[in-house]
């Protein structure tokens, strides 16, 4: 389904978000029961990424920095299944898209946000500390399989969010979109507008080159036709 089309989600349908390199889980939707998070970075196996897409995925939301091979497979599957797919260039846009489907975010049962689950995730990260110099999603992907092997009930989104919290406490990045300043929002919007302008400029340059080439070819063709006419003129007069 084309990106511009809209859908109404049934109660059992999901939104699957594919995170490219350095992209973070949206805080409000980290443990939402109908939002599924999948790391889709360079180094991820395309077949493995595709195998993690839930059958009920009605919307596929793609962030930036997804490898072309994975990106094309996701969009091809979306078109084949009739799912809606859309690309969002920054965390603010991802958050806005999710709120358009779920105006009131719900917290899933495995969010790790309280009681024993929270303590287990905290202890797990103390025993297996993430590399805070890397992206939260990247480290969550690395540690998620280990957490499952150890019997810790969590989700990729929950683990990524817990790592993001550690990074913020350590004074590193991963600031959630909900607490970004108005200046950051304006800069994101401006960056996106500049990118669109650059695309338009590139298209206009291609059009200019095409017009220049076409004009030159037309002039050459006109000259050739004129030469033929000059050659034919005397010959026809002799007849």
pLDDT digit string, tens, across residues 4-23: 456 689 999 999 999 888 88
- Max mean pLDDT among 44-48, 81-85, 175-179, 229-233 falls in 81-85
Going across the sheet that includes 14-19, the strands are 35-39, 14-19, 57-62, 84-87
CB atoms within 10 A of CB 139: 24
Are 122 and 192 in a shared domain?
no
Average pLDDT, the chain: 79
3-state secondary structure of 136: helix
Are 121 and 92 in a shared domain?
yes
Q: Has residue 4 been placed in a domain?
A: no
Q: Which domain range does residue 163 map to? A: 14-177
Choose one of 177, 206, 223: the last residue of a domain.
Answer: 177
Are 41 and 126 in a shared domain?
yes
Choose one of 177, 205, 224: the last residue of a domain.
Answer: 177
Are 24 and 132 in a shared domain?
yes
Choose one of 177, 194, 220: the last residue of a domain.
Answer: 177
Are 98 and 113 in a shared domain?
yes
Number of domains in the chain: 2
Are 103 and 198 in a shared domain?
no
Question: What is the helix (H) or strand (E) element at residue 57, kind and residue range?
Answer: strand 57-62
3-state secondary structure of 90: coil
Q: Has residue 9 been placed in a domain?
A: no
Are 24 and 83 in a shared domain?
yes
Per the listing, tokens 């998070």 go with 37
Are 200 and 102 in a shared domain?
no
pTM passes above 0.75: no
114, pLDDT greater than 70: no
User: 137-185, pLDDT tens digit by residue?
Assistant: 888 888 887 787 677 878 888 888 888 888 888 877 555 444 445 555 6
213, burial (CB in 10 Å: exposed 0-12, middle 13-18, buried 19+): exposed
Distance CA(197)–CA(93), nearest Å, equals: 18
Are 29 and 143 in a shared domain?
yes
Q: Has residue 143 been placed in a domain?
A: yes
Backbone angles phi, psi at 105, to 5 degrees: -55, 140
Are 105 and 39 in a shared domain?
yes
Are 165 and 185 in a shared domain?
no
Return the pLDDT at 23: 83
Are 46 and 61 in a shared domain?
yes
């Amino acid at each position: 389904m084309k990106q511009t089309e809209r859908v109404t989600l049934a109660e059992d349908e999901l939104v699957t978000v594919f995170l490219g390199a350095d992209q973070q889980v949206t805080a409000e939707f980290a443990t939402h029961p109908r939002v599924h998070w999948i790391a889709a970075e360079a180094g991820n196996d395309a077949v493995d990424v595709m195998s993690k897409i839930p059958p009920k995925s009605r919307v596929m939301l793609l962030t930036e920095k997804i490898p072309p091979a994975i990106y094309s497979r996701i969009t091809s599957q979306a078109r084949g299944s009739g799912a809606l797919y859309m690309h969002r260039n920054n965390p603010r846009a991802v958050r806005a898209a999710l709120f358009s489907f779920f105006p009131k975010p719900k917290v899933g049962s495995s969010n790790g946000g309280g009681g024993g689950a929270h303590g287990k995730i905290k202890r797990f990260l103390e025993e297996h500390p993430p590399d805070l110099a890397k992206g939260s999603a990247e480290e969550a992907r690395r540690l998620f399989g280990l957490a499952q092997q150890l019997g810790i009930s969590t989700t990729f989104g929950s683990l990524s969010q817990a790592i993001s919290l550690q990074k913020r406490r350590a004074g590193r990045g991963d600031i959630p979109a909900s607490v970004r300043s108005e200046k950051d929002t304006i800069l994101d919007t401006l960056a996106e507008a500049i990118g669109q302008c650059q695309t338009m400029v590139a298209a206009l340059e291609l059009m200019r080159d095409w017009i220049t080439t076409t004009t030159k070819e037309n002039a050459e063709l006109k000259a050739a036709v004129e030469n033929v006419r000059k050659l034919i003129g005397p010959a026809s007069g002799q007849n």
